[in-house]
Amino acid sequence: MTATQCVIGLLVSGVVAATSSVCGGPDLEPVLHALPPTTSQAVIVHAPTAATTYATLETFEKVDGDWHPVFPAMVARIGENGFSDHHRESEPSTPTGTYGFGDTLYGLEPDPGTHYPYHVLAVDDWWNANPSTPGYNTFHHGADPGGASEALWQVTPQYAYFAFITYNVPPVPGAGSAIFLHANGSDDTSGCVSLARPDLLRVLRWLDPTRSPRIVLGPDDELA
């Protein structure tokens, strides 16, 4: 049984997967304790190999100096090319590393009750994916910034709700843009992390900017 099959089985059976060790994953304690001391919420997205498009997403919070699991392990989708240590613009891979979340959450649907400022997407809301522009890898309202910029208001159901993962911030031209935590589409992603809509809402409502949340992305062997 693969780690992903294990997680799916746990969710179907209603068993709470408290830690990765339930499904034979890595010991995440060292990863959690390596986070900044001001961080008390953590999302870890990991997979048995870098080449898979399925991953496990786990949530943790720090209470009185100790890390504890929050929700059952969730099945996530990642990039078509899996995880990459060298993600580039327009490559369908999910960048490895530890990142924060943007200051604003976005979505086609109204605010579901988050702790963050929330922006309901409108016509001419873009994510600038043009490396030759000053606003590369930022939200933009107005004319198309060019390049591979995304018309955010047209991406459904994925952008019903999403959080910006602060990969390539401050931006290096060509290193990649628009890495989000968003709702599942029909398959893998172009580099983002996606969840079933109920799981995504659970995570987005839980995240709190006052707790300096971080997201860690990578295959099990790198996390270990």
3-state secondary structure of 47: strand
Contacts within 8 Å (CB) and 24+ apart, 57-64: 57/193, 57/195, 57/199, 57/203, 58/17, 58/19, 58/20, 58/28, 59/203, 59/206, 60/28, 60/32, 61/211, 62/32
For every one of its 224 residues, what pLDDT tens digit does the chain have, with 9 covering 90 and above?
Answer: 444 455 445 444 443 333 444 466 789 999 999 999 999 999 999 999 999 999 999 999 999 999 999 999 999 999 999 999 999 999 999 999 999 999 999 999 999 999 999 999 999 999 999 999 999 999 999 999 999 999 999 999 999 999 999 999 999 999 999 999 999 999 999 999 999 999 999 999 999 999 999 999 999 999 98
Residues comprising the chain, all counted: 224
- What local confidence, expressed as pLDDT, does residue 184 receive? 98
* CA 60 – CA 69 distance, rounded (Å): 4
Q: Which two tokens stand for residue 47?
A: 């997979």
Strand 101-107 to strand 118-120: parallel, antiparallel, or no bridges (unpaired)?
A: parallel
- What local confidence, expressed as pLDDT, does residue 5 receive? 52
Q: Which two tokens stand for residue 172?
A: 């290096």
pTM (predicted TM-score): 0.90
In 13-144, where do the E strands start and end?
41-47, 54-63, 66-69, 74-77, 83-84, 94-95, 97-99, 101-107, 118-120, 125-127, 139-141
